Amino acid sequence: MTLQTLRTALAAAEAGGYAVGAFNVSSIDQAIAVLDAAAAERSPVIVQAIAGMSAYDDESRWWHRLRGLVAEYGGVPAVLHLDHGRTYDDCVRAIDHGFTSVMIDASRTSGTDEPASFADNVALTRRVVEAAAPSGASVEGELGTIGGAEAGIAGVLEEIVFADPDQAVEFVEQTGVDALAVAVGTSHGSVKFTDEAGGQRLRLGLIAEIKGRLPDTFLVLHGSSSVPAEAVAAINAHGGEVRPSYGITPAQKSEGIAAGIRKINQGTDSHLAWSAALRTFLQDNPAVVEPSEQLRPAMGGFRAMVTQRMREFGSSGRA
């Protein structure tokens, strides 16, 4: 794939009126599933990793190989993105490893459920923007806080603090970020909303208002997986204990795209699909011990979910 910055990928999405899916991966196998889906769909894609969240002890080796893998694929534009960088050092390490985009999540005090002050958020975000400038890497910031529990932050449950349009304008002016994740009613984690109405709670008017005031800044939706009931049911039917819940519906995400969202983060849905396929295979084939046989259905489930989301976001065929 052709490596590009987040700004370049989202500028094309802005012109075309679609969103680019940003898919979290924690292993080479998952990255291959995402990239294979993008190649088959002729879709731009954002492959993203979280610091400290992988199957490997040596993060430097993981990031180096992930960057090389993305670069191996030809013909479809791809962004290599650090998702939810917690510290300045996280972001600098990613840039040094060839990531073309980083997110600094300075919206809350690191390791706590306390929202950071606006001034602290601005200061840290601006520092990352300055560090990214020499390499040309894009920077995504966050305003407000997304609800739920984020990957790797055990025991931390955030309340939703909605983004303020006036602060959004001030934040972008003071930091110079390329993209802005706005808190508009989504929630992180595999357990999002306990009632069906939860998936209909996106504040579409807030998205449109912020986009109207920041036409040159690309808006991002975090915590927006749909939590497919069939995947949860399959996991639980094969020994799992995932609490059923409701996510953001595909229809709501489509309306969010129409209102101005250009990047949609998806982690939970593809992870649920992976787990459902793997658990089903292992229970149906209890004598199989060959890892390749186990990985094949898991990768297939992951790839199928990524493919589905690319089609829903309107990015298929856009490469």
Known catalytic residues? Answer: 83
Distance CA 200, CA 302 (A): 25
Give the residues across from 50 on adjacent strands. 53
Of the chain, the end-to-end C-alpha distance in Å amounts to 10
Stated length of the chain: 319
CB 138 within 8 A of CB 129: no
Distance CA 43, CA 35 (A): 9
In whole angstroms, how far apart are CA 185 and each of 7, 158, 177, 200, 239? 24, 12, 22, 9, 32
Q: Does an H or E element contain 258, and which?
A: helix 250-259
CB 180 within 8 A of CB 207: no
Sequence-ordered list of residues with C-beta below 8 angstroms from that of 182, at least 6 positions apart, any chain: 142, 143, 144, 163, 168, 206, 207, 210, 219, 220, 221
Distance CA 179, CA 45 (A): 16
